[in-house]
Chains A and B, each alone.
Chain A
Amino acid sequence: MPANIRETKIGFGYRKQTNLQTPNASGDIWSLTKTNAALSTVNLNTENDAADLGKGHEFATQVFRSHWDVSGSIEKYLTSQIAAWAFVFGLGGRVKSGTPPAITYTCTPQNPVTGGIELPAFSFIEQIRPGASAVLDRMAVGCVVEDFTITIGSGPGRANSRIAINFAGSGKLVEPSGITLPAGTTEHPLPGASAQVTINGVDYVTTRNLVSLELGFKNNLRLDSGFYPGSGTQDGAAIRGRLEFGDREASLRFTARFEHGSTELTKLRNQTEGTAVISLQGDLISGSDYHSLQVTFHRVVFRTAVVGDTDGIVTVEVECQPLWHSTNGLLTAVAKTTQDNIG
Protein backbone atom coordinates (compact mmCIF):
# COMPACT_ATOMS: atom_id res chain seq x y z
CA MET A 1 0.00 0.00 0.00
CA PRO A 2 1.29 3.47 -0.78
CA ALA A 3 2.37 5.65 2.08
CA ASN A 4 1.77 9.31 2.71
CA ILE A 5 4.89 11.35 3.39
CA ARG A 6 3.11 12.77 6.43
CA GLU A 7 3.34 9.34 8.03
CA THR A 8 7.06 9.98 8.45
CA LYS A 9 8.40 10.03 11.98
CA ILE A 10 11.86 11.27 12.75
CA GLY A 11 14.09 11.11 15.77
CA PHE A 12 17.69 11.97 16.42
CA GLY A 13 20.16 11.91 19.23
CA TYR A 14 20.03 14.76 21.66
CA ARG A 15 23.13 13.35 23.28
CA LYS A 16 26.27 12.91 21.27
CA GLN A 17 27.34 9.45 20.18
CA THR A 18 30.32 8.02 21.99
CA ASN A 19 32.11 7.83 18.63
CA LEU A 20 31.24 8.17 14.96
CA GLN A 21 30.34 4.52 14.39
CA THR A 22 28.40 3.83 17.57
CA PRO A 23 24.70 4.68 17.32
CA ASN A 24 22.84 6.62 19.94
CA ALA A 25 21.16 4.47 22.52
CA SER A 26 17.39 4.50 22.38
CA GLY A 27 17.13 6.62 25.52
CA ASP A 28 19.33 9.32 24.04
CA ILE A 29 16.99 10.01 21.14
CA TRP A 30 14.22 12.56 20.97
CA SER A 31 11.47 13.01 18.46
CA LEU A 32 10.89 16.47 17.04
CA THR A 33 8.85 17.62 14.11
CA LYS A 34 10.07 19.33 10.97
CA THR A 35 8.44 21.19 8.10
CA ASN A 36 10.37 19.98 5.06
CA ALA A 37 9.05 16.88 3.38
CA ALA A 38 12.41 15.72 2.07
CA LEU A 39 13.70 12.49 3.51
CA SER A 40 17.41 12.14 4.10
CA THR A 41 19.49 11.25 1.08
CA VAL A 42 21.01 7.81 1.38
CA ASN A 43 23.07 7.10 -1.66
CA LEU A 44 25.21 4.10 -2.53
CA ASN A 45 27.63 5.49 -5.10
CA THR A 46 28.81 3.15 -7.80
CA GLU A 47 31.45 3.24 -10.51
CA ASN A 48 31.73 1.26 -13.71
CA ASP A 49 34.65 0.17 -15.83
CA ALA A 50 33.68 2.06 -19.00
CA ALA A 51 36.88 4.10 -18.97
CA ASP A 52 39.15 1.17 -18.16
CA LEU A 53 41.49 0.12 -20.96
CA GLY A 54 41.99 -3.46 -22.08
CA LYS A 55 38.40 -4.45 -22.79
CA GLY A 56 38.57 -3.59 -26.45
CA HIS A 57 35.73 -1.09 -26.26
CA GLU A 58 34.48 1.93 -24.35
CA PHE A 59 31.42 0.34 -22.84
CA ALA A 60 30.87 -0.70 -19.26
CA THR A 61 30.97 -4.37 -18.41
CA GLN A 62 30.93 -4.17 -14.61
CA VAL A 63 29.64 -1.91 -11.87
CA PHE A 64 31.47 -1.56 -8.57
CA ARG A 65 30.14 -0.33 -5.25
CA SER A 66 32.18 2.69 -4.25
CA HIS A 67 31.02 4.53 -1.15
CA TRP A 68 28.03 5.63 0.86
CA ASP A 69 26.83 9.19 1.12
CA VAL A 70 24.22 10.23 3.65
CA SER A 71 22.92 13.74 4.10
CA GLY A 72 19.77 15.42 5.27
CA SER A 73 18.13 18.58 6.40
CA ILE A 74 15.85 19.60 9.21
CA GLU A 75 13.77 22.67 8.59
CA LYS A 76 11.62 23.83 11.46
CA TYR A 77 9.90 26.69 13.10
CA LEU A 78 12.36 27.91 15.68
CA THR A 79 11.97 26.57 19.21
CA SER A 80 14.24 26.70 22.22
CA GLN A 81 14.76 22.94 21.99
CA ILE A 82 16.06 22.90 18.43
CA ALA A 83 18.05 26.09 18.95
CA ALA A 84 19.90 24.52 21.85
CA TRP A 85 20.51 21.37 19.85
CA ALA A 86 21.76 23.27 16.80
CA PHE A 87 24.13 25.37 18.89
CA VAL A 88 25.55 22.37 20.72
CA PHE A 89 25.97 20.12 17.68
CA GLY A 90 26.65 22.84 15.13
CA LEU A 91 29.24 24.79 17.08
CA GLY A 92 30.76 22.02 19.17
CA GLY A 93 31.91 23.99 22.20
CA ARG A 94 29.34 23.83 24.95
CA VAL A 95 28.95 24.63 28.62
CA LYS A 96 25.80 23.49 30.39
CA SER A 97 24.46 25.28 33.42
CA GLY A 98 21.23 25.54 35.34
CA THR A 99 19.05 22.93 36.91
CA PRO A 100 15.89 21.33 35.57
CA PRO A 101 13.54 22.53 34.32
CA ALA A 102 15.63 25.45 33.05
CA ILE A 103 18.88 24.42 31.39
CA THR A 104 21.21 26.89 29.71
CA TYR A 105 23.62 25.91 26.96
CA THR A 106 26.39 28.39 26.23
CA CYS A 107 28.07 27.47 22.98
CA THR A 108 31.05 28.66 20.96
CA PRO A 109 32.81 27.33 17.89
CA GLN A 110 34.84 24.35 19.05
CA ASN A 111 38.42 25.14 19.95
CA PRO A 112 40.50 22.75 17.83
CA VAL A 113 43.36 22.70 20.33
CA THR A 114 41.33 21.18 23.12
CA GLY A 115 38.31 19.86 21.24
CA GLY A 116 39.91 18.56 18.06
CA ILE A 117 38.34 19.08 14.65
CA GLU A 118 35.61 16.47 14.89
CA LEU A 119 32.20 17.69 15.96
CA PRO A 120 29.77 15.75 18.16
CA ALA A 121 27.88 13.14 16.16
CA PHE A 122 24.31 11.94 16.39
CA SER A 123 22.11 9.23 14.89
CA PHE A 124 19.17 10.21 12.67
CA ILE A 125 16.16 7.92 12.42
CA GLU A 126 13.39 7.99 9.83
CA GLN A 127 10.41 5.69 10.02
CA ILE A 128 7.29 5.17 7.96
CA ARG A 129 5.06 2.44 9.40
CA PRO A 130 7.82 0.79 11.41
CA GLY A 131 7.32 -2.87 12.21
CA ALA A 132 6.36 -5.82 10.07
CA SER A 133 4.93 -3.62 7.32
CA ALA A 134 7.60 -0.98 7.43
CA VAL A 135 7.84 1.25 4.43
CA LEU A 136 10.96 2.85 5.83
CA ASP A 137 12.84 2.24 9.04
CA ARG A 138 16.46 3.30 9.03
CA MET A 139 19.02 4.95 11.23
CA ALA A 140 21.88 6.95 9.81
CA VAL A 141 24.74 6.65 12.27
CA GLY A 142 27.47 9.22 12.72
CA CYS A 143 25.76 12.36 11.47
CA VAL A 144 27.35 15.77 11.96
CA VAL A 145 25.91 19.24 11.46
CA GLU A 146 27.20 20.89 8.31
CA ASP A 147 25.46 24.20 8.88
CA PHE A 148 22.51 25.89 10.51
CA THR A 149 20.68 29.06 9.61
CA ILE A 150 18.23 30.98 11.75
CA THR A 151 15.87 33.33 9.98
CA ILE A 152 13.52 35.84 11.52
CA GLY A 153 11.21 37.86 9.34
CA SER A 154 8.14 40.01 9.19
CA GLY A 155 4.57 38.79 9.00
CA PRO A 156 2.18 36.70 11.07
CA GLY A 157 2.54 33.08 12.03
CA ARG A 158 5.26 30.74 13.11
CA ALA A 159 7.00 31.15 9.76
CA ASN A 160 8.51 34.43 10.92
CA SER A 161 11.02 32.50 12.98
CA ARG A 162 12.66 29.47 11.42
CA ILE A 163 15.76 27.32 11.48
CA ALA A 164 17.30 25.13 8.81
CA ILE A 165 19.94 22.54 9.66
CA ASN A 166 21.90 20.50 7.14
CA PHE A 167 23.88 17.47 8.17
CA ALA A 168 26.11 14.83 6.65
CA GLY A 169 26.45 11.23 7.75
CA SER A 170 29.26 8.75 7.98
CA GLY A 171 27.37 6.46 5.62
CA LYS A 172 26.77 3.80 8.23
CA LEU A 173 23.16 2.64 8.30
CA VAL A 174 21.16 0.44 10.60
CA GLU A 175 18.09 -1.07 8.91
CA PRO A 176 15.69 -1.64 10.53
CA SER A 177 16.68 0.95 13.06
CA GLY A 178 15.71 -1.14 16.07
CA ILE A 179 14.56 2.06 17.72
CA THR A 180 11.12 2.72 19.12
CA LEU A 181 10.83 6.44 18.82
CA PRO A 182 9.69 8.24 21.96
CA ALA A 183 6.60 10.41 22.04
CA GLY A 184 7.10 13.75 20.40
CA THR A 185 9.00 16.25 22.50
CA THR A 186 6.96 19.27 23.53
CA GLU A 187 8.63 22.26 21.92
CA HIS A 188 8.46 25.92 22.81
CA PRO A 189 8.49 28.49 20.00
CA LEU A 190 10.74 31.51 19.92
CA PRO A 191 8.62 33.94 17.88
CA GLY A 192 10.15 36.62 15.72
CA ALA A 193 7.95 39.21 17.40
CA SER A 194 9.98 38.75 20.60
CA ALA A 195 13.25 39.70 18.91
CA GLN A 196 15.76 42.09 20.42
CA VAL A 197 18.36 43.09 17.87
CA THR A 198 21.25 45.48 18.34
CA ILE A 199 23.86 45.61 15.61
CA ASN A 200 26.82 47.92 15.45
CA GLY A 201 25.36 50.38 17.92
CA VAL A 202 21.81 50.49 16.57
CA ASP A 203 18.83 49.03 18.42
CA TYR A 204 16.74 47.96 15.46
CA VAL A 205 13.76 47.02 17.62
CA THR A 206 13.49 50.41 19.29
CA THR A 207 13.65 52.08 15.89
CA ARG A 208 11.09 49.55 14.56
CA ASN A 209 13.14 49.27 11.39
CA LEU A 210 14.11 45.61 11.20
CA VAL A 211 12.45 43.75 8.32
CA SER A 212 14.31 40.45 8.40
CA LEU A 213 17.50 38.89 9.69
CA GLU A 214 19.45 35.75 8.99
CA LEU A 215 22.34 34.34 10.99
CA GLY A 216 24.20 31.14 10.42
CA PHE A 217 27.24 29.00 10.93
CA LYS A 218 28.81 26.62 8.45
CA ASN A 219 31.36 23.94 9.25
CA ASN A 220 32.44 23.12 5.68
CA LEU A 221 32.90 19.49 6.63
CA ARG A 222 35.81 17.64 5.03
CA LEU A 223 33.63 14.98 3.43
CA ASP A 224 36.14 13.30 1.14
CA SER A 225 38.84 12.93 3.78
CA GLY A 226 36.38 10.89 5.79
CA PHE A 227 37.30 8.02 3.46
CA TYR A 228 40.78 6.76 4.25
CA PRO A 229 42.56 3.45 4.57
CA GLY A 230 40.63 1.59 7.19
CA SER A 231 37.70 4.01 7.41
CA GLY A 232 35.30 1.08 7.21
CA THR A 233 32.87 -0.55 4.81
CA GLN A 234 29.22 -1.43 4.66
CA ASP A 235 27.84 -3.85 2.10
CA GLY A 236 31.09 -3.68 0.19
CA ALA A 237 31.19 0.12 -0.07
CA ALA A 238 33.28 2.55 1.92
CA ILE A 239 31.92 4.59 4.80
CA ARG A 240 33.51 7.54 6.53
CA GLY A 241 35.61 6.99 9.62
CA ARG A 242 35.74 10.65 10.54
CA LEU A 243 33.87 13.88 9.86
CA GLU A 244 36.08 16.89 10.48
CA PHE A 245 35.23 20.50 10.04
CA GLY A 246 37.07 22.59 7.48
CA ASP A 247 37.28 26.37 7.29
CA ARG A 248 34.34 27.42 9.40
CA GLU A 249 32.42 30.59 8.78
CA ALA A 250 29.71 32.58 10.49
CA SER A 251 27.25 34.79 8.68
CA LEU A 252 24.91 37.60 9.60
CA ARG A 253 22.77 39.65 7.26
CA PHE A 254 19.72 41.78 7.79
CA THR A 255 17.31 44.10 6.02
CA ALA A 256 16.12 47.25 7.73
CA ARG A 257 14.04 50.22 6.74
CA PHE A 258 16.28 53.01 5.50
CA GLU A 259 15.36 56.54 6.45
CA HIS A 260 16.89 59.91 7.18
CA GLY A 261 19.61 59.40 9.76
CA SER A 262 20.13 55.71 9.03
CA THR A 263 23.79 54.95 9.56
CA GLU A 264 24.39 51.78 7.58
CA LEU A 265 26.04 53.40 4.58
CA THR A 266 28.24 55.59 6.75
CA LYS A 267 29.31 52.61 8.80
CA LEU A 268 30.12 50.67 5.66
CA ARG A 269 32.21 53.57 4.34
CA ASN A 270 34.03 54.03 7.65
CA GLN A 271 34.21 50.29 8.37
CA THR A 272 32.86 50.99 11.83
CA GLU A 273 33.18 48.06 14.18
CA GLY A 274 30.71 46.94 16.80
CA THR A 275 28.99 43.97 18.31
CA ALA A 276 25.78 42.29 17.18
CA VAL A 277 23.40 40.77 19.70
CA ILE A 278 20.26 38.94 18.60
CA SER A 279 17.82 37.62 21.20
CA LEU A 280 14.50 35.79 21.08
CA GLN A 281 12.26 34.83 23.96
CA GLY A 282 9.40 32.41 24.37
CA ASP A 283 7.29 31.13 27.24
CA LEU A 284 8.22 31.24 30.89
CA ILE A 285 9.90 28.06 32.14
CA SER A 286 9.94 28.85 35.83
CA GLY A 287 10.87 31.72 38.09
CA SER A 288 12.58 34.28 35.87
CA ASP A 289 13.78 31.74 33.30
CA TYR A 290 12.27 31.88 29.83
CA HIS A 291 12.73 29.74 26.76
CA SER A 292 15.19 31.90 24.87
CA LEU A 293 18.23 32.26 22.72
CA GLN A 294 20.86 34.91 22.39
CA VAL A 295 23.59 35.05 19.80
CA THR A 296 26.43 37.52 20.28
CA PHE A 297 28.84 38.32 17.49
CA HIS A 298 31.74 39.89 19.34
CA ARG A 299 33.02 41.96 16.38
CA VAL A 300 31.24 42.85 13.16
CA VAL A 301 31.74 45.32 10.35
CA PHE A 302 29.49 45.84 7.37
CA ARG A 303 30.71 44.09 4.24
CA THR A 304 27.96 45.39 1.97
CA ALA A 305 25.02 47.73 2.40
CA VAL A 306 22.66 48.06 -0.53
CA VAL A 307 19.69 50.40 -0.56
CA GLY A 308 16.61 49.02 -2.28
CA ASP A 309 13.02 48.38 -1.35
CA THR A 310 10.94 45.78 0.40
CA ASP A 311 7.24 45.76 -0.47
CA GLY A 312 7.57 49.34 -1.66
CA ILE A 313 9.35 50.62 1.46
CA VAL A 314 12.92 51.87 1.14
CA THR A 315 15.24 49.44 2.88
CA VAL A 316 18.90 48.68 3.22
CA GLU A 317 20.20 45.14 2.94
CA VAL A 318 23.32 44.71 5.02
CA GLU A 319 25.75 41.84 5.03
CA CYS A 320 27.95 41.77 8.10
CA GLN A 321 31.43 40.37 8.32
CA PRO A 322 31.91 38.64 11.67
CA LEU A 323 35.46 39.12 12.91
CA TRP A 324 37.53 37.26 15.47
CA HIS A 325 37.71 39.09 18.78
CA SER A 326 41.06 38.52 20.46
CA THR A 327 39.46 38.05 23.87
CA ASN A 328 35.94 36.78 23.28
CA GLY A 329 36.37 34.80 20.08
CA LEU A 330 33.99 34.84 17.13
CA LEU A 331 30.56 34.36 18.63
CA THR A 332 28.71 33.01 21.62
CA ALA A 333 25.31 31.39 21.29
CA VAL A 334 23.17 30.77 24.35
CA ALA A 335 19.95 28.79 24.46
CA LYS A 336 17.76 28.24 27.48
CA THR A 337 15.34 25.35 27.32
CA THR A 338 13.81 22.51 29.29
CA GLN A 339 15.74 19.62 27.77
CA ASP A 340 18.60 18.44 29.89
CA ASN A 341 21.82 16.82 28.70
CA ILE A 342 21.89 18.01 25.10
CA GLY A 343 25.28 17.11 23.70
Chain B
Amino acid sequence: MSETVILRSPDGEVREVEATVESLSPLMAHGWVQIEDTREEGLSRAGEYS
Protein backbone atom coordinates (compact mmCIF):
# COMPACT_ATOMS: atom_id res chain seq x y z
CA MET B 1 0.00 0.00 0.00
CA SER B 2 1.22 3.49 -0.80
CA GLU B 3 2.26 5.83 1.93
CA THR B 4 -0.27 8.39 3.03
CA VAL B 5 -0.09 12.02 4.05
CA ILE B 6 -2.57 14.25 5.81
CA LEU B 7 -3.89 17.33 4.03
CA ARG B 8 -6.25 20.10 5.07
CA SER B 9 -8.59 21.86 2.66
CA PRO B 10 -9.15 25.63 2.57
CA ASP B 11 -12.43 24.92 4.37
CA GLY B 12 -10.73 22.99 7.13
CA GLU B 13 -11.58 19.47 6.03
CA VAL B 14 -8.81 17.05 6.94
CA ARG B 15 -8.19 14.03 4.77
CA GLU B 16 -5.59 11.28 4.67
CA VAL B 17 -4.62 10.56 1.07
CA GLU B 18 -2.12 8.44 -0.77
CA ALA B 19 1.12 10.25 -1.53
CA THR B 20 0.83 9.86 -5.29
CA VAL B 21 0.72 12.41 -8.08
CA GLU B 22 -2.77 11.26 -8.98
CA SER B 23 -4.10 11.75 -5.46
CA LEU B 24 -2.20 14.87 -4.49
CA SER B 25 -2.39 16.99 -7.66
CA PRO B 26 -6.14 17.72 -7.56
CA LEU B 27 -6.00 18.61 -3.90
CA MET B 28 -2.85 20.72 -3.99
CA ALA B 29 -4.10 22.58 -7.05
CA HIS B 30 -7.14 23.61 -5.08
CA GLY B 31 -5.40 24.82 -1.96
CA TRP B 32 -5.09 21.77 0.23
CA VAL B 33 -1.97 21.92 2.37
CA GLN B 34 -0.07 19.30 4.26
CA ILE B 35 -0.34 19.06 7.98
CA GLU B 36 3.15 18.23 9.09
CA ASP B 37 3.66 15.32 11.41
CA THR B 38 4.59 17.01 14.66
CA ARG B 39 6.09 13.82 16.01
CA GLU B 40 8.79 13.99 13.35
CA GLU B 41 9.19 17.70 12.95
CA GLY B 42 9.24 19.01 16.47
CA LEU B 43 6.82 21.63 17.72
CA SER B 44 8.76 24.61 16.42
CA ARG B 45 8.31 23.33 12.86
CA ALA B 46 4.83 22.02 13.28
CA GLY B 47 1.86 23.12 11.29
CA GLU B 48 0.90 23.68 7.71
CA TYR B 49 3.33 24.23 4.93
CA SER B 50 3.00 27.22 2.61
Partner of A95 from B31, B34, B45 at Cβ < 8 Å: B34
Q: Are B33 and A96 in contact (CB under 8 A)?
A: no
- Asked if A298 is an interface residue, CB under 8 A from chain B, the answer is yes
Query: How far in angstroms is the closest Cβ of chain B from A211?
Result: 27
In the bound complex, CA of A13 to CA of B7 (Å): 25
Interface stretch of the complex, out of A113-121, A172-180, A184-192, A308-316: A113-121
Query: How far in angstroms is the closest Cβ of chain A from B1?
Result: 13
A18 to B, closest residue via Cβ: B44
A sample of 17 more A-B contacts (CB under 8 A), given A110-B50, A114-B32, is A93-B28, A93-B33, A94-B34, A94-B50, A96-B34, A97-B3, A97-B19, A98-B3, A106-B24, A111-B28, A111-B29, A114-B50, A327-B29, A328-B29, A329-B25, A329-B28, A329-B29
Q: Are B50 and A120 in contact (CB under 8 A)?
A: yes
A109 to B, closest residue via Cβ: B29
- Asked if A104 is an interface residue, CB under 8 A from chain B, the answer is yes
Query: How far in angstroms is the closest Cβ of chain B from A209?
Result: 25
In the bound complex, CA of A98 to CA of B25 (Å): 17
In the bound complex, CA of A65 to CA of B39 (Å): 48
Contacts from B to A (Cβ < 8 Å): 3-5, 7, 10, 19, 21, 24-26, 28-34, 36, 41, 45, 49-50
Main secondary structure of the interface of A (DSSP, over half): strand
Q: Are A106 and B29 in contact (CB under 8 A)?
A: no
In the bound complex, CA of A175 to CA of B36 (Å): 34
Contacts from A to B (Cβ < 8 Å): 92-98, 104, 106, 108, 110-111, 113-116, 120, 294, 296, 298, 325, 327-330, 332, 334, 341, 343
B41 to A, closest residue via Cβ: A341
A-B contact pairs, 8 of them (CB 8 A): A94-B50, A104-B19, A106-B19, A113-B31, A114-B33, A325-B29, A328-B26, A334-B21
Q: Are B26 and A327 in contact (CB under 8 A)?
A: yes
Contacts of A92 in B (CB 8 A): 50
Contacts of A294 in B (CB 8 A): 21
Q: Are B28 and A332 in contact (CB under 8 A)?
A: yes
In the bound complex, CA of A95 to CA of B6 (Å): 9
Query: How far in angstroms is the closest Cβ of chain A from B3?
Result: 5
Partner of B10 from A108, A114, A116, A296 at Cβ < 8 Å: A114
B34 to A, closest residue via Cβ: A95
A94 to B, closest residue via Cβ: B49
Query: How far in angstroms is the closest Cβ of chain B from A136?
Result: 31
Query: How far in angstroms is the closest Cβ of chain B from A219?
Result: 14
Query: How far in angstroms is the closest Cβ of chain B from A89?
Result: 11
Contacts of B10 in A (CB 8 A): 113-114
Contacts of B25 in A (CB 8 A): 108, 296, 298, 327-329, 332
In the bound complex, CA of A343 to CA of B47 (Å): 13
In the bound complex, CA of A330 to CA of B25 (Å): 9
Contacts of B24 in A (CB 8 A): 95, 106, 108, 332
In the bound complex, CA of A98 to CA of B34 (Å): 13
A120 to B, closest residue via Cβ: B50
Q: Are A106 and B50 in contact (CB under 8 A)?
A: no
In the bound complex, CA of A112 to CA of B36 (Å): 19
Query: How far in angstroms is the closest Cβ of chain B from A109?
Result: 8
In the bound complex, CA of A95 to CA of B7 (Å): 9
